[in-house]
Amino acid sequence: MAKRGKKQRKARESVDFSQRYEFADGVKIILDCAYARFDESVDLAVRLGVDPRRADQMVRGTVVLPNGTGKSVRVLAFAKGEKEKEALEAGADYAGSDDLITKIKGGWLEFDKTVATPDMMGSVGKIGKILGPRGLMPNAKLGTVTFDLGKVIKEIKAGKIDFRVEKSGIVHAPVGRVSFGADRILENITTFMDSIVRKKPAASKGAYIRSIGISTTMGPGIKIDPANVKVLLT
């Protein structure tokens, strides 16, 4: 494990972890405290005032981060014929039909995201028990079951992420890497928070955004003032 330098230790010691910061200050703090020898991920956790057990309060969706996540995403496309060719030309790492399904049944899972044409879903459903628990099943609601494979694959490669509120009421999202710097991370956060605000269910009562935390892979969690969301999106 990398050792913290004097600069990082001093930055950490100066932080009041009980305080709720503005987004810009919070991002600066986590970057100042970063010490790992690898490019740490920057992650956001937003607790919402919803009851995920109720269908009318489920918050889920997709958003294309303007600066991506900094992670290389391996995309697999379930498609045949011209659509298979379209997927590969758009940047899919793998594309095919029954051959890929057979391979996955055998335990192969060297991919991060899947997309599929609607006509393939009958076959893909046969491996739903493998893909589903791993969050790898193509989903029409998230736009990954479509005949427009070229568009969705390019979006995923450009930084499109899926988000969904957990049973605890928290939504987690990667918003970049330490190497991005403050400005690019803030641009990603702004885009993500705008999407979260737009997804507010009509059935949600009281405060919608209850708390926000931001952290790096190895760094401390910093609290963000929920009231700062309005300022961020203005």
Give residue 174's region: left, alpha or beta (phi > 0; psi -120 to 50). Answer: beta
Extended beta strands in the chain, E state: 20-21, 41-48, 60-64, 75-78, 94-96, 113-116, 160-164, 170-177, 209-216, 222-224
More confident site: 10 or 134: 134
More confident site: 11 or 173: 173
Whether the predicted pLDDT of 3 surpasses 60: no
Q: What percent of the chain has pLDDT over 70?
A: 95
| 143-198 pLDDT, tens digit each | 999 999 999 999 999 999 999 999 999 999 999 999 999 999 999 999 999 999 99
Q: Could you tell me the residue ranges of all domains in the chain?
A: 18-69+160-233, 75-157
| 81-136 pLDDT, tens digit each | 999 999 999 999 999 999 999 999 999 999 999 999 999 999 999 999 999 999 99
Q: How many CA atoms lie within 13 A of 104 on its CB side?
A: 29
Q: Which CATH class is domain 18-69+160-233?
A: alpha beta
CA dist 204 and 147 (Å) reads: 34
Whether the predicted pLDDT of 222 surpasses 60: yes
- To the nearest whole number, what is the mean pLDDT of the chain? 93
| Res 33: pLDDT | 87
CATH no., domain 75-157: 3.40.50.790
Instruction: Report whether 101 contacts 135 (CB < 8 A).
Output: no
Q: What is the pTM of this model?
A: 0.83
- How far is the CA of 186 from the CAs of 15, 43, 190, in angstroms? 20, 12, 6
| Res 183: pLDDT | 97
CA dist 21 and 217 (Å) reads: 19
